[in-house]
Amino acid sequence: MEEEREKERGIMGHDREDPGQQMSFIRGTDLFGYVGIEAVLDQMRRKTMKSGFEFNIMVVGQSGLGKSTLVNTLFKSKVSRKSCTPNYEEKICKTVKLHSVSHMIEEKGVKMKLTVIDTPGFGDQINNENCWEPIVKYINEQYEKYLREELHVNRKRRIPDSRVHCCIYFLPATGHRLRPIDVEFMKRLGKIVSIVPVIAKADTLTIEERQEFKERIRQDLASNGICIYPQKEYDEDQEEHALNEKIRESIPFAVVGTDKEHQVNGNKVLGRKTKWGIIEVENVAHCEFSHLRDLLVRSHLQDLKEVTHNIHYETYRVRRLNESNVDFSVLGLTPWLLENGTADQSESQL
Ligand SMILES: Nc1nc2c(ncn2[C@@H]2O[C@H](COP(=O)(O)OP(=O)(O)O)[C@@H](O)[C@H]2O)c(=O)[nH]1
Ligand SMILES: [Mg+2]
């Protein structure tokens, strides 16, 4: 009864498990006047605008699948060099080489340091055995760098974040099923990074072919136990679950990239000329490029960063600290400090 009355007065939620620590929630409507809590959003906004944020995206797939073109289309700027550029990626690499380029992108005062990590040579050989190894190594090296900065006695106020927040995996538009290399790559990498698979150059398939291909890919992903982003286990609430279910049902997005604009009904649109007419890249009736952009930039960018920090990096951190062969003396630490949690004060970086 008393609880009921408290609820009516707007005071509720006493933590009964810990009587020493009482917590009560007062609904905004029950405040006597304006306090100004909501202004924290403006404060966060101002801080983010001042400092900017980092976003690191990796593209993986055979040469010529349109990786560079797609990233340029996503950010509407030349953030990745295309293979037709002389002296670059022209010849097929014998081994997988990782190559990262950073750009500052600014929109309405918000600054983003975008780093695109390209993986030329992946899947280009006749024998592609272990071609994911340099990629796994690179991803882990970035976690290691971050860990070392975090464990340092004199930590930087803001640790530079070179961790891969998202790996876009390009599937060739064969219309068949996942190939062994796709299964092997995604199985391994899905455990250490957020993978978003896409069907590249989707304009080479008909709408029906795309649908069937997508369905077969989803079956193969499930039957091989491959974890791709967004993972069910990390949905935080009902609302997020509903939104992510829709995404999971339509993954992998069938995308088309371009660096050309065409005139359609008097408007300039990003598109590709095909024998069937102009494919409008940003038109959802033509391809799923917009869904991919919405996911990566407009709805899930912050979530990709959080999943990287809270899940993938955390898994790496726990494993490394358990191995106990981090050279603590170099960091000016003793393992004792770690056991007592003193060094475990990682902040979520923007
Ligand atoms: N049909 C088609 N061609 C594309 C598409 N995206 C890129 N291309 C073309 O494919 C070639 C290779 O593109 P590029 O982005 O350099 O591929 P990368 O090697 O994977 O980075 C270029 O001639 C592009 O114009 C697409 O969505 N559809
Ligand atoms: Mg390229």
Helix axes 180-189 and 133-151, enclosed angle (nearest 10): 10
Find out whether 257 and 70 touch, Cβ atoms under 8 Å: yes
180 domain residue, yes or no: yes
* Chain Cα centroid distance, residue 81: 21
Ligand positioned closest to the Cα atom of 69: 1
| Pocket lining: 67 vs ligand 1, CB cutoff 6 Å | yes
Pair 30, 162 in one domain: no
pLDDT of amino acid 126? 76
Intervals of the chain under pLDDT 70 = 1-20, 25-29, 82-94, 324-350
Task: Please identify, by atom number, the ligand 1 atom nearest to the C-alpha of residue 89.
Answer: 19
Q: What are phi and psi of 54, to 5 degrees?
A: -105, 145
Would residue 245 count as lying in a domain?
Answer: yes
pLDDT tens for 292-345 read: 999 999 999 999 999 999 999 999 999 999 986 666 555 555 554 454 444 343
- 172 and 86 share a domain? yes
Per-residue pLDDT, 10:
44
* 136 and 27 Cβ atoms separated by less than 8 Å: no
Is 336 a domain residue? no
Ligand with the closest atom to the CA of 88? 2
297 located within any domain: yes
Task: Evaluate whether residue 348 is within a structural domain.
Answer: no
Phi, psi of 288, deg, nearest 5: -105, 25
Evaluate whether residue 141 is within a structural domain. Answer: yes
Determine if ligand 1 sits within 6 Å of the CB of residue 119. no
pLDDT value for 260:
92
pLDDT for the residue 349: 35
* 203 close to 287: Cβ distance less than 8 angstroms: yes
At residue 331, the pLDDT reads: 57
pLDDT at 343: 39
Answer whether 216 contacts ligand 1 (Cβ < 6 A): no
Q: Within this chain, do residues 159 and 250 fall inside the same structural domain, yes or no?
A: yes
DSSP string of 261-316? EEEETTEEEEEEEETTEEEETT-TTT-SHHHHHIIIIIISHHHHHHHIIIIIIHHH
Quickly list H helices, the chain: 2-8, 39-51, 67-75, 133-151, 180-189, 207-223, 238-250, 289-293, 301-307, 314-323, 328-331, 335-339
Residues 31 and 120 in one domain: no
- 193 and 82, same domain (yes or no): yes
Amino acid 96: pLDDT? 83
pLDDT for the residue 203: 94
Any atom of ligand 1 within 6 Å of the Cβ of 148: no
Q: What pLDDT was estimated at residue 327?
A: 62
CA distance linking residue 133 with residue 333, whole number of Å = 31
Q: For ligand 1, say whether the CB of 172 is within 6 Å of any of its atoms.
A: no
Any idea what the CATH number is for the domain that residue 244 is in? Answer: 3.40.50.300
**Is 86 found in the same domain as 11?**
no
* Cα distance between residue 218 and residue 196, in whole Å: 12
Best residue among 58, 82, 87, 92 to mutate for probing ligand 1's pocket (most ligand atoms within 8 Å of CB) is 82
The type of residue at 50 is K
Sign of CA dihedral 221, 226, 230, 234: positive
Atom of ligand 1 nearest to the CA of 72: 15
Out of 62, 65, 69, 281, mutate this one to test ligand 1's pocket (max ligand atoms within 8 Å of CB): namely 69
Q: What's CA 243's distance to the chain center, in Å?
A: 16
Whether 47 maps to a domain, the answer reads: no
Please check whether residues 118 and 204 belong to one and the same domain.
Answer: yes
161 and 193 inside one domain: yes
Protein residue closest via CA to atom 13 of ligand 1: 66
253 vs 223: CA distance, rounded Å: 19
Q: What is the pLDDT of residues 183-217, one digit of tens each?
A: 999 999 999 999 999 999 999 999 999 999 999 99
Separation CA 121–CA 71 (nearest Å): 18
Examine the domain organization and report whether 75 and 17 are in the same domain.
Answer: no
Q: In terms of domains, do 27 and 64 share one? A: no
Tell me what pLDDT residue 26 has.
66
Residue with the nearest Cα to atom 26 of ligand 1? 201
99 touches ligand 1 (CB under 6 Å): no
pLDDT at position 125, please? 79
Residues 23 and 115 in one domain: no
In one-letter notation, the amino acid at residue 101 is: V
Q: How many domains does the chain fold into?
A: 2
Q: Is the CB of 286 under 6 A from ligand 1?
A: no
> Closest Cα to atom 10, ligand 1: which residue?
66
Q: Which domain holds residue 22?
A: 2-35
Pairing mode of beta strands 267-274, 166-171: unpaired
User: With a 6 A CB cut-off, is 203 part of the ligand 1 pocket?
Assistant: yes
Does a structural domain hold residue 330? Answer: no
Ligand of minimum distance to the alpha carbon of 271: 1
Q: What type of residue sits at position 99?
A: H
Co-location of 63 and 155 in the same domain: yes
